[in-house]
């Protein structure tokens, strides 16, 4: 089992004793923007992190009525990608997920979209991400229910990542999957083989087929608005290619 996330090791230390993401963005953000093509959401996130808890966003002054001491606190950006604003929410989410963990082995499965689909992900994020979750979940459930593998209902948690480690667009979903399945009658647990869940080549083939089928349905139903730089894909032959 792979850890889903881990809180910052320096979370309990004083602000001045550690380097934060905002410090890196302020120092190198402008240069990064000049050398990388960013999606609109990525640009907004970087800007929010850069100005978070600074005078740019304003603030408020607290004054002690006894001694007159003052403390100025700057406002937060509240962007969901900001580690400072979302640390408490992250801890709550992790605590809730830990309560759901069963005393069994787990497997870490990752489903990734090719970078060819990045322009579609930028213009139709809800559709592209929804199809990714649906294709990943239905593929895993299909293999779990196959009597050649487990023959029951598996469980899991899926987390979407849209960036890679190099902060470039890399759409993928991490799935933490139970190392076994509950029999369809609901009275028996069937454990997976040690160190093995499903065959990766077969898993990949089924996932690819399900995702492309969903993408074709979206195209056929007119759910894709292919304009601007994507206009060439409006032709069925070009889209199929």
What is the average pLDDT value for the chain, to the nearest integer? Answer: 87
Burial of 127 (0-12, 13-18, 19+ CB in 10 A): middle
pLDDT category, 128, cuts 50, 70, 90?
Answer: very high
**Is residue 180 predicted with pLDDT exceeding 90?**
yes
Residues 167-172: what's their mean pLDDT?
A: 88
**Is residue 184 predicted with pLDDT exceeding 90?**
no
Q: Which one is predicted more confidently, 165 or 201?
A: 201
Q: Burial code of 217-240, b = ≥16 C-beta within 10 A, e = fewer?
A: ebbeeeebebeeebeebeeeeebe
pLDDT category, 129, cuts 50, 70, 90?
Answer: very high
When mean pLDDT is compared across 84-88, 104-108, 137-141, 142-146, the lowest value belongs to: 84-88
Q: Which one is predicted more confidently, 71 or 4?
A: 71
Q: Which one is predicted more confidently, 84 or 31?
A: 31
List of long-range contacts for 49-56, beta carbons under 8 Å, 24+ apart:
49/21, 49/22, 49/25, 49/77, 49/79, 49/81, 49/82, 49/83, 50/22, 50/25, 50/26, 51/77, 52/22, 52/76, 52/77, 52/79, 52/82, 52/84, 52/85, 53/22, 53/77, 53/84
Q: Which one is predicted more confidently, 227 or 204?
A: 204
| Percent with pLDDT over 90 in the chain | 54
**Is residue 13 predicted with pLDDT exceeding 80?**
no
What is the residue extent of each domain of the chain? Answer: 1-101, 103-240
According to the model, what pLDDT value does residue 124 have?
A: 92
CA distance linking residue 84 with residue 15, whole number of Å = 11
According to the model, what pLDDT value does residue 213 have?
A: 96
CA atoms within 13 Å, Cβ hemisphere of 204: 6
Per-residue tokens: 23: 């410090």
**Is residue 15 predicted with pLDDT exceeding 80?**
no
């Amino acid at each position: 089992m792979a850890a889903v996330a881990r809180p910052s090791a320096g979370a309990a230390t004083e602000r001045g004793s550690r380097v934060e993401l905002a410090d890196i963005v302020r120092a190198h953000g402008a240069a990064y923007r000049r050398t990388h093509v960013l999606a609109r959401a990525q640009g907004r996130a970087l800007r929010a992190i850069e100005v978070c808890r600074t005078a740019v966003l304003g603030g408020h002054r607290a004054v002690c009525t006894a001694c007159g001491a003052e403390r100025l606190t700057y406002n937060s950006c509240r962007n969901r990608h900001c580690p400072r604003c979302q640390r408490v929410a992250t801890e709550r989410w992790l605590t809730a997920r830990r309560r759901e963990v069963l005393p069994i082995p787990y497997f870490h499965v990752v489903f990734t979209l090719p970078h060819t689909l990045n322009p579609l992900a930028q213009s139709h994020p809800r559709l592209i991400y929804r199809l990714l979750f649906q294709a990943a979940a239905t593929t895993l459930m299909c293999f779990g229910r196959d009597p050649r593998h487990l023959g029951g209902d598996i469980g899991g948690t899926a987390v979407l990542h849209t960036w890679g480690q190099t902060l470039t667009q890399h759409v993928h979903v991490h799935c933490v999957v139970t190392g076994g399945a509950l029999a369809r009658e609901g009275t028996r647990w069937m454990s997976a083989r040690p160190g093995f869940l499903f065959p990766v080549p077969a898993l990949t083939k089924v996932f690819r087929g399900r995702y492309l089928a969903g993408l074709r349905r979206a195209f056929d139903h007119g759910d894709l608005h292919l304009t601007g730089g994507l206009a060439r894909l409006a032709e069925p032959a070009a889209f199929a290619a």
